[in-house]
Structure 1
Amino acid sequence: MEYELRSTWKKTFEFNWKFGLFLILIVCVPRFILVLNANVSGNYGVIGLVMLLSALAPFIFLTKSGRLKIGITKPQKYSWLVIAFIAGLVFSFLLYFLGESLFCNTVENWYAYIGKSYNIPSNMPSSDKAILFTIVALTGMTFSPIGEELFFRGIVHSSFAESIGDKNASVVDSAAFAVVHISHFGLVYLHQQWKFLWVPALLWVISMFLVSVLFFACRRNSGSILGAILCHAAFNLGMIYCIFYLL
């Protein structure tokens, strides 16, 4: 399958694993640093810009034909969009129960640590909490799923797949996705110092790897990147619900 780079880039790149590695380095390394800085400052606005750039990558580098070939197209199996959404929700709740059973409501629980960034007042009225939940959920179901899936399961996956095949490419994009999420949990900022939580971080990385494989399965079975986006959006919705109402 020939993926079509825009003419601007053809003299510089070939659409293969080297190009995929280039994308991972120029996007994921700065993102990792920016998220760590946001964990200190509490200002996560810049992360939205990272997601925007991630979403734009296929449009910056690929022709229309190339974008179609990486999955930016109509689904072939609409039933898989429903399956994808349910699967994402189920995985998010399973991850909640794992964290709660092992670490309770401590900073070693990934959802508890991530939830600190939402700044939810403990005595917030239920109506105000519902409004805040809706805002956070809508944001979490759009920016990150669209940006990350167009990037990881879209252009990055396809560039590696061109060189090493779909299954191996899924391992690579899932590993990249999992490692970059250490900046969200694993390497944590507590009491004005950094700490690496080895066991919780390992479980978190494994979970992020597995959910990434799930996102790819939804993309492949639906025939469209939309399957991955919906699964990711549902996962984020479930995670945010657990943070707001179950922790």
Structure 2
Amino acid sequence: MGLLLLIAICIPRFWLVLNANQTGNYGNIGIIMVISALVPFILLSKKGRTKIGITKPASFTWVLYSFLAGILISALMFALGNALYTNTIHNWYVYIGKSYKLATDLNAHDKFIYFLIYATTGMCFSPIGEELFFRGIVHSSFSASLGENKATVMDSLAFAFTHLAHFGIVYIAGRWQFLLIPSVLWVLGMFITSLVFIQCRKKTGSIMGAIASHAGFNLAMIYFIFYHL
């Protein structure tokens, strides 16, 4: 089931993200996130949804810690990219920021408004859609057949390589390029980030921990893109 879900969702998503990077039309990405979020509610019973973590957190303190952990891992990703590649296209946050297609001459007020818009959507769509999918139904499916440790690896590998469409295979100056070393670092970073999200889910006893951590990661990423690149 986990493998079938990855094929059914991640392959179309990978293509849609690459296409969006080329065309600038990201509307379909929102649709795939909604579909990802709905999968557990379509395929699972109430008992099944509870088993994958769609339940009240056991510790709201750990939900806050999870949010802060997401901010921290995002800050580390920013620091690494900035130290190695400064403000070049080889920096993952620079390339993702360019996908926003924002004007370069925004005044402070307009930049803040756009930041709020992107931060709000970034803290809602992908954290909910991806966590219900990856750390929810996919992880639990693999865990049931392979065990928790192997499920953690499979879930994190799928998450990491899916994000290769967001950075690594890049569309620059009208042609596609593959940035080998930056891609390896980015995928490794996403793999470690997934491990953090999984731990946050375990600490809170709920998928809410992973969602909170993912939301913190995206908030920090968008902040760095807007105000430090």
TM-score greater than 0.5 by the shorter chain = yes
- Counterpart code for 2:98: K
The residue type paired with residue 95 of structure 2 is: Y
Residue in structure 2 matched with residue 220 of structure 1 by the alignment? 202
TM-score normalised by structure 2 residue count: 0.99
3-state SS of the aligned residue for 1:34? helix
Give the counterpart letter for 2:200 in structure 1: C
RMSD: 0.6
Which secondary structure state, in structure 2, belongs to the residue aligned with residue 118 of structure 1?
coil
Which of 84, 90, 96 aligns to 2:66? It is 84
Q: Does 1:141 align with 2:126?
A: no
User: Counterpart of 1:15?
Assistant: none
Percent identity between matched residues is 57
- Give the distance between the partners of 1:20 and 1:239, measured in 2 at CA: 29
Aligned to 1:53: 35
In the alignment, what sits opposite 2:132?
A: 150
Per-residue CA deviation, residues 178-222 of structure 1 (Å, 9 max, x unaligned), is 001000000000111110000000000000000000000000110
Q: What secondary structure does 2:183 align onto? A: helix
Deviations 1:157-196 (A, max 9, x none): 0000001111210110110000010000000001111100
SS of corresponding position for 2:99: helix
Determine the structure 2 residue equivalent to 1:10: none
Moved over 3 A (4+): none
Q: The residue matched to 1:194 in structure 2 has which SS?
A: strand
User: What's the CA shift for 1:229?
Assistant: 0.1
Structure 1 distance, partners of 2:101, 2:173, is 16
The aligned counterpart of 1:4 is none
> Which whole-Å CA distance do the structure 1 matches of 2:149 and 2:33 have between them?
25
Residue 72 of structure 1 aligns to a residue in which SS?
A: coil
Question: What amino acid is aligned across from residue 81 of structure 1 in structure 2?
Answer: V
Q: What residue in structure 2 maps to residue 6 of structure 1?
A: none
Residue 208 of structure 2 corresponds to residue 235 of structure 1: no
Pick aligned residue for 2:189 from 207, 217, 224: 207
Aligned to 1:124: 106
Residue 120 of structure 1: how far off its partner (Å): 2.4
